[in-house]
Structure 1
Amino acid sequence: MEFFCYHRDRPGSTPLRTQMVEEHWSYMDRFAATMIARGPTFTDDETLTGSVHILDLPDTTAARAFAFEEPGYQAGAYRDVLLRRWRNTLGRTMWDFGDSRPDDTRYLVLGFCEPTTDDIDLPDGEELIACGPLLSDDGAVVVGAAVLLAAASADDAHRALSPARFTTIEVHQWDFGGRPA
């Protein structure tokens, strides 16, 4: 089962996150083989705002353990965690993304909608890195979408999801994460 996990930083937690980076990476190393995408979100001035992980885990219990046993979460670096079942509509990982738009910035776009059992329209295009619906624990109800993409601006990234379909749309700068090579 695929899961989307977004740890949102507590304001002022960047020093703590920086101090704990090796513990975070060591923890994530245990899940490297299951990762679809990962990486930090941040502001224009590069202040950390969160940490995205999309991964394939056996079940909801394993996903909750992943999210809440993360060292930064345990230390209080995050104000909350968004954890949802997810479906990889592109069928690839961020490492499969051929960056045909190297001058663009990468973004996480989250859209939240009224719960529905209907499929929702998701974007397509070469700028997409990962894309899929956010689902209920049983996978039967769509509650939103998570899209990772390359775009020229935050406004362009925002247009990946239709405001007519999603009641709330968030756009966060994002970059590929993981231990430096």
Structure 2
Amino acid sequence: MPFMIETWDKDGNHALRLKLRDRHLDYLDQHQTLLLACGAKLSDDGAFASGGIYLVDVEDRASAEDFIQNDPFHEAGLFQRVEVIRWRKAYLAGKREL
């Protein structure tokens, strides 16, 4: 069942994000079968990330929450806020899913 996870970074933590980026990407690689899509939310000039959006296909809300809580970004305290929302996959990669 798909869930959208949206995260917001704590202000002033760009250096922490960069420090953890490789560990974060390794974590995503290890769980790539769960990922429908994933990426950072960027400033208009693309220079800074301020959080992320993950679209995951997991069994239930608890699995989505477990996924994000084990992300190195979350474990290190990068996020000020995390929302997990059940999502309907209507269109994905230009293809209608309903």
Q: TM-score, normalised by structure 1?
A: 0.49
Contact 1:13–1:78, Cα closer than 8 Å, also in 2: no
Instruction: Find the aligned partners of 2:9 and 2:83 in 1 and give their Cα distance.
Output: 11
- The AA in structure 2 aligned to 1:83 is V
Who is 1:32 aligned against? 32
Who is 2:72 aligned against? 71
Q: CA deviation at 1:48?
A: 1.0
- Structure 2 residues not aligned, in runs of 5+: none
Q: Percent identity?
A: 27
Task: Compute the RMSD of aligned alpha carbons.
Answer: 1.6
Runs of 4+ aligned residues of structure 1 deviating over 2 Å after TM superposition are: none
Q: Which has the higher helix share?
A: 2
Aligned length in residues: 94
Contact 1:34–1:55, Cα closer than 8 Å, also in 2: yes
- Structure 1 residues not aligned, in runs of 5+: 98-128, 130-181
CA deviations on 1:32-52 (whole Å, 9 max, x unpaired) are 122111111111242211111
Instruction: Find the aligned partners of 1:18 and 1:58 in 2 and give their Cα distance.
Output: 31
Instruction: Find the aligned partners of 1:34 and 1:74 in 2 and give their Cα distance.
Output: 19
Q: CA deviation at 1:68?
A: 1.3
Who is 2:86 aligned against? 85
Q: 1:55-66 alignment to 2 at 5 Å?
A: 55-66=56-67
Q: TM-score, normalised by structure 2?
A: 0.87
